[in-house]
Structure 1
Amino acid sequence: MDLLEQHTRDERRTEAEARLDELADAGVVAVALPWVDTSGITRVKTVPLAKLPSAAAWGVGMSPVFDGFLLDDSIIAGRFAGSATGDLRLHPDLSRLTVLAGQPGWAWAPVDRYTQAGTPHVQCSRSLLRRLVASLAEEGLTVRGAFEIEWVVARPDGTPDDADAFAPALTGPAYGMTRLAEVSDYARDLLDALEAQGVDVDQFHPEYAGGQLEVSVAAEDPVAAADTALLVRNTITAVSSQHGLRVSFSPKVTADGVGNGGHVHLSLWRDGQNLMAGGEGPLGLTRDGEGFVAGLLDHLPALLAVGAPAVASYLRLVPSHWAGAFAAWGLENREAAIRFVTGPEGNRQSAANVEVKCVDLAANPYLLMAACLAVGAAGVRAGSRLPDPVAVDPASLSDDERRDAGIRPLPATLSEAAEAFDADEVLAAAFGEELHATVVDVRRGEVALLEEQTAEQVCRTTRWKH
């Protein structure tokens, strides 16, 4: 995006003014302007409805210090983040302005962060994703993507001796109809709210862990997909609160439990053709489709620094837990970090996609989607090829068998992922010097913050942050 010229500001103000009566008729009194920080925490400022035109034209002030925030709200002294000086402007994207069905009286619009001079902030993850989408478009390529959202619902008062403990609000079995019956009214209100907000829900179901649920939404362009992920999570939190429930999206809620994933589904397109299907490559991939998947696979260790960005992420990312702890790909293989999905016979041209399974909801969705696009595009440009798909749990193979098949274990700690990200030239070039350095600095800051904690203490520290 270029400098915000006066005519652009005037157009944004006019567009916002044209929406005021409609929003007032819907009962809106204020607009939430959220963004996601480097640690994956959603931060927000709000404006009264009458101030929306001014916010659209001139933005709302916010310190850049939040680029250096850790999950406990402490602040690193990073190379390019953490300073008390400076100011940014939060500019709402009115194309995503949404009346919040789960929060009466409120509307919502994600923001792009600009400098006072009217240029995009170099550490704005949403602006980064926009640029990478535009870069692919120049090559005739588009990506469709979606995030799966898993969460657990808990009793708001914890346990009798610990108000912050996790006490699941549902007792039914994994994927069980009895669990759905327990949550029937809550699920109805949640689905109603999502529909009212224009979210195209594909599926809703009980999941595996205690109190765990999942919602899947339709694929969109990458920026819209990240926006939708943010909106869905906000709606889940709001509707849960109305029903007296507490919510956690944490990658690991308890040390001995199954964590929440935040899987990303991606497909690559050119001229209306899905490049994940109808080709002569492995499992029907076209050459460009294969290159995209190979790029993802090659850069998975570094990708984890934005896709599994919490210390708690590595308590989830363990073998034989359907989390994808090995850098491998395979057809419908839920133990591979990249699961290839063909879709049903007769619908593959539309449905074929890859699912990145080793990531979770501690991630900033804009950063994660941007990283996926950057490494996938690098694979396309390099003509990268895939190894043979893996049809078994990689953990069931011997070390020699995995080595012969080119299967690598993914980083086992956030420190290892941060080091891989720091050394990754593709992601360094895509993110730019300042943002690339800040991701590394924040990850190292959170490692230092939690390095003396036990696994259960890490879960407790992280449990209610995401």
Structure 2
Amino acid sequence: MDARKRRDDPVAAHVAERVETGRIDLVRFLYADHGGIIRGKAAAGARIADRLYTGIGHTVAMMAMTMLDTLQPVEGMGPVGEVRILGDPSTFTPLPYAPSAAAMLSDLVHPDGEPWAACPRTFLKDAIAALAEAGFSLVAAFEPEFTLGRRIPADHGPDRLVPIDDSLCYSATGFHAAHDFAVDLVHALEAQGMRVEHYYPELGHGQQELSIRPSSALRAADNHVLYRETVRAVAMRRGLWASLAPKPIPGQAGNGCHLHLSLWSGDRNVFHDPAGAYGLSDEGRWFIGGLLAHLPALTALTSGTVNGFRRLTPRSWASAYACYGMDNREAAVRICSPMRDAAKETTNLELKPSDSGANPYLSLGAVIHAGLDGIRSKTDPGAAVGVDPETLPEADRPPRLPSSLGEALDALEADTLLMNALGPLRSAAYLAVKRADVEAFAAQDAAYECFHHFTKF
């Protein structure tokens, strides 16, 4: 929506009314930065009508800030320059875990309301527009895992995350240990319009998985920002600590955030074809082909932290090889078995090298560009892999995914399609921020790395 039309926007007017009648004192304008951190500013409830029109002033430098709050030298992102954090009134939601507060997902725009070239949410909007131009829309869902525990001071070194339990995978003991927290979380998510689908204790100690229903691409990314904030806030209010970091505890199972995708043309699921191999259409195969062709570069965006590459190892059910397969949980792309009574609606793909350390707007937007490139080029993904690729003779294994963020960034920089999609300002800032993270964590030990990830994600 053009910011200059907001004075007359009925949705914005309705938000202002809800703020007044709901006695909302602060409205958080949230965005995700290049480091994957959720940041923002809050507007006073009494001034919300003005701020929905003007946004909140913000320095351009913040999109060159790393997850350790060190500013990187990026041209156009220094001490001179201003953008606005402009809340999208259609995303307004009171926060059930923060009395008298609400939140909106936000775009970063120029003072005149025009889109800023480094805004991640705009990047996803542009990808969605490219899909629409080709006659498609995307339905998506992030499937997050997180570790629930307590933040404990160490005798020497940084704080540790100590899990709430040592239960087994899907164990009833795990349900018991986290029950009160889980019910609070369900209520908080549902109150914000997210429909909970499944919940269970996962493989790692204190590890939880709670998924919400799919939605349109932009809403899915917006939901994931709200989900991340809700998980952490509900835990804090119970004196606990929750982390969605990919590998908050060395030696424990990592936290993925698998990305589920289906492509639509009107009310037709384009991926579904009962006559195709694995029930998948040609377009579905080509979409996979695009993902695999760009996967080394994609991992820099879908698993975009130093810590994220600790989980992308063989035989960890996180994917380490660029391949696909039917219900193959060691493949980077899994063709999911549809529900037998709703195959047309539920045929979908799952991208496994994805986690909550990523900026969801950049991650999903890049996935769209890669998949659309596959469809346009009719990229053949090759044969499906029906075994754990690690068990194959070395000469027969699919290509290995990057084993570090540095390798993934090199692949991203060499990927013309994704670099062009990101644009010069956004790509320069992203590479600068992430390469600074690589350098900073290379000089420290695992305890330091895990501490700074479990406290920030």
Partner of 2:234: 239
Contact 2:271 2:284 in 1 (8 A): yes
Distance 1:53 1:326, change over 3 A: same
1:76 and 2:96 aligned: no
Q: How does 1:158-237 map to 2 (within 5 A)?
A: 158=153, 164-237=159-232
Partner of 1:464: 455
User: 1:179, CA displacement in angstroms?
Assistant: 1.1
- Residue by residue, what CA displacement relative to the aligned partner does 1:352-388 show, whole Å, maximum 9, x if unpaired? 1111111111100000000000001111111112211
User: 1:128, CA displacement in angstroms?
Assistant: 1.1
Partner of 1:262: 257
Q: 2:429 aligns with which of 426, 434, 438?
A: 438
Percentage identity across paired residues of the two chains: 32
Contact 2:151 2:160 in 1 (8 A): no
Q: How far apart, CA to CA, are the structure 2 residues paired with 1:80 and 1:261?
A: 34
1:11 and 2:43 aligned: no
Partner of 2:25: 29
Partner of 1:410: 401
- Residue by residue, what CA displacement relative to the aligned partner does 1:383-421 show, whole Å, maximum 9, x if unpaired? 11221111111111121121xxxx100001111100100
Q: 1:370 aligns with which of 365, 368, 371?
A: 365
User: 1:463, CA displacement in angstroms?
Assistant: 2.1
1:115 and 2:110 aligned: yes
Q: 1:289 aligns with which of 280, 284, 288?
A: 284
Q: How far apart, CA to CA, are the structure 1 residues paired with 2:156 and 2:175?
A: 28
1:59 and 2:59 aligned: no
Identify unmatched segments of 5+ residues in structure 1.
Answer: none
User: 1:134, CA displacement in angstroms?
Assistant: 1.4
Contact 2:152 2:159 in 1 (8 A): yes
Q: How far apart, CA to CA, are the structure 2 residues paired with 1:185 and 1:438?
A: 42
Q: How far apart, CA to CA, are the structure 1 residues paired with 2:38 and 2:332?
A: 26
Q: 2:414 aligns with which of 423, 445, 455?
A: 423
Partner of 1:276: 271
Partner AA of 1:393 in structure 2: D
CA RMSD of aligned residues (A): 1.6
Partner of 1:38: 34
Contact 1:339 1:355 in 2 (8 A): yes
Contact 2:3 2:53 in 1 (8 A): no
Partner of 2:319: 324
Q: How far apart, CA to CA, are the structure 2 residues paired with 1:218 and 1:148?
A: 9
Contact 2:3 2:54 in 1 (8 A): no
Partner AA of 1:118 in structure 2: G
User: 1:11, CA displacement in angstroms?
Assistant: 2.1
Give TM-score, length-normalised by structure 1: 0.94
Distance 1:457 1:398, change over 3 A: farther
Q: How far apart, CA to CA, are the structure 2 residues paired with 1:384 and 1:211?
A: 41
User: 1:159, CA displacement in angstroms?
Assistant: 5.5
Worse-superposed segment, 170-179 or 111-120: 170-179
User: 1:27, CA displacement in angstroms?
Assistant: 3.6
Q: 1:253 aligns with which of 233, 248, 267?
A: 248
SS in 1 for 2:152: coil
Q: 1:357 aligns with which of 352, 361, 367?
A: 352
Worse-superposed segment, 288-297 or 222-231: 288-297
Q: How far apart, CA to CA, are the structure 1 residues paired with 2:126 and 2:8?
A: 22
User: 1:319, CA displacement in angstroms?
Assistant: 0.6
Identify unmatched segments of 5+ residues in structure 2.
Answer: none
Q: How far apart, CA to CA, are the structure 2 residues paired with 1:145 and 1:431?
A: 21
SS in 2 for 1:299: helix
Q: How far apart, CA to CA, are the structure 2 residues paired with 1:125 and 1:294?
A: 25
1:343 and 2:338 aligned: yes
User: 1:37, CA displacement in angstroms?
Assistant: 0.4
Q: How far apart, CA to CA, are the structure 2 residues paired with 1:284 and 1:371?
A: 25
Contact 1:59 1:89 in 2 (8 A): yes
Q: How far apart, CA to CA, are the structure 2 residues paired with 1:129 and 1:104?
A: 31
